[in-house]
Amino acid sequence: PLMKGMDHIGRLFAANEMIVAEVLQSAEVMKAAVAHLEPHMDNASTASRGKILLATVKGDVHDIGKNLVHIILKNNGYEIIDLGIKVAPETLIEQALKHRPDLIGLSGLLVKSAHQMVATAEDLKNAGITAPLLVGGAALSGKFTATRIAPAYQQPVLWAKDAMQGLDLANQLQDPQQRPKVLAKNREAQASLRGEGVTAIVATVATTATPKAKITALDDIPTPPDLRLHVEQDFNVAEIFRYVNPIMLYGKHLGLKGNLERLFSENDPKALEIKKRVEDIQNEILAKKYIQAKAVYRFFAARSDGDSLMIYDSPSSRNALTRFDFPRQKSAEGLCLTDFVRPVPDSFASTPDYICFFVVTCGAGIMELASQLREKGEYLKSFAIQALAIESAEGFAELLHEKIRAMWGIPDPKEMTAREKFQAKYRGLRVSFGYPACPNLEDQKKLFALLDPAKHIRVTLTEGLMMEPEASVSALVLHHPQARYFSV
């Protein structure tokens, strides 16, 4: 009956009648009920539905998405062997040979991690492992899975867009009657995504010259108050919570659907209940200091040189500390981030421009805490703390950016609302390496050399160029009024 209960919850979720927060709450109740009844149950009723090896791929510190999958699968009767984050293919092979899982689940956040999945799949194949792979994560797509990961593994690879779809696929694979059907459906869908059996349409790429966008050169460059390194060791987390984007926290992570402002103002019972749980968790975080907010930032003199951004120690320096090369749009506007920075002058006597770099983190100890809570069956709390930490990192970036604008002498108008700030309606732009306008994650190394966040705030770079802890954000801040987001 308990298994049926969870199946029912799964169906409600799939039919959009239950949201992530409710699934986690139900899982808490279910875990408590199982613990209570287990001594009275026979082996058949406690038997596992299957064994799943779960991991975030090498170089990747992404934990929260994997954990949601872990909780949901575990509470649906699967035995989960969670190998954690940054798991090398050798470890996966060793553990797969030891545990002989029915399914191997891989998670990853960045595009780089999707490529790591291809390498991992190839290594698993070479080691003779044949268990189906279940893959998921923010930057992964069904097409990438079909065209890159599945051919590398040559065994079934199934892509899940979210944790509940992951459960649904696992259930179908473990059901002897459903298994051939789901595998055949997956094969067909992936063949079609690879374009097999379809006449290829050759895209013609326009090769016309790309005009440069009209960005006005500024007469008055705002001057920062200093060019020294600033370190914040214990920033006020209550203040950061006010900058957490509710759409991300309640909508994206906890799954509330619809217009949040309206749900809350009209006292929607489900929305209010979840808000109350989250606020209680926020109060506990503040009281027990679970989240520690740290930042390191510095203004630098800067000049643009074509598509390169030159960074200097001081306005009078002639030798650049480092340079960043950014891509230029091939489309109509032909934008490049360097268009928003004053160019290298003929004479170095003229004033340079300035930029700011920063790294913030709210993640120290969060992964361990979330894992302990998960083990205790406090699923919603475990997930909400992790979601609050990552959204606090983003909120802290927003808050620090506002502070930087004020230090720079370009504060926001007093009447600017929080919503306008989330919509980036202030002067200037904040971009992070990995974003579409500056996609090269290798640039993280140069940023880390300039700010040394490992020394000052204990944020390190993995070999996959992700920051550890997970709840960390790095950014480049530009002040030009015309600076805005674009894709290359």
Binding site for ligand B1M (CB under 6 A): 61-62, 64-66, 68-69, 105-107, 109-112, 134, 136-139, 160, 162-163, 166, 252, 390, 393-394, 432-435, 439, 466-467, 470-474
**Nearer CB in complex with ligand B1M: 295/352:** 295
Q: How many CA atoms lie within 13 A of 52 on its CB side?
A: 32
In the DSSP assignment, the letter for residue 247 is: I
CB of 427 to ligand B1M, least distance (A): 22
Which residues are CB-contacts of 319 (< 8 A; sequence separation ≥ 6)? Answer: 312
Helix (H, G, I), strand (E, B) or coil at 298: strand
Q: Dihedral (C-alpha) 218, 220, 226, 231: value to the nearest 10 degrees? A: -50
DSSP code string of 94-131: HHHHHH--SEEEEE-SSHHHHHHHHHHHHHHHHTT--S
Question: What does the block give as tokens for 31?
Answer: 């875990």
List b or e across 261-295, with b for residues whose CB sees 16 or more CB atoms inside 10 angstroms.
eebeeeebeebeebbebbeebbeebeeeebbbbbb
**Nearer CB in complex with ligand B1M: 411/439:** 439
Q: How many CA atoms lie within 13 A of 43 on its CB side?
A: 0
CB of 232 to ligand B1M, least distance (A): 17
Q: How many residues comprise the chain?
A: 488
Indicate the residue type of 32: A
Contact by Cβ (8 Å): 222, 479: yes
CB of 41 to ligand B1M, least distance (A): 28
CB of 436 to ligand B1M, least distance (A): 6
Which residues are CB-contacts of 250 (< 8 A; sequence separation ≥ 6)? Answer: 256, 260, 271, 274, 275, 278
CB of 341 to ligand B1M, least distance (A): 19
**Nearer CB in complex with ligand B1M: 352/464:** 464
**Nearer CB in complex with ligand B1M: 252/419:** 252
**Nearer CB in complex with ligand B1M: 222/439:** 439
CB of 59 to ligand B1M, least distance (A): 10
CB of 91 to ligand B1M, least distance (A): 16
CB of 470 to ligand B1M, least distance (A): 5
CB of 243 to ligand B1M, least distance (A): 12
**Nearer CB in complex with ligand B1M: 144/300:** 144
**Nearer CB in complex with ligand B1M: 112/125:** 112
Which residues are CB-contacts of 211 (< 8 A; sequence separation ≥ 6)? Answer: 332, 333, 334
Question: What does the block give as tokens for 276?
Answer: 């109350």
**Nearer CB in complex with ligand B1M: 377/434:** 434
**Nearer CB in complex with ligand B1M: 33/138:** 138
Question: What does the block give as tokens for 110?
Answer: 């960045």
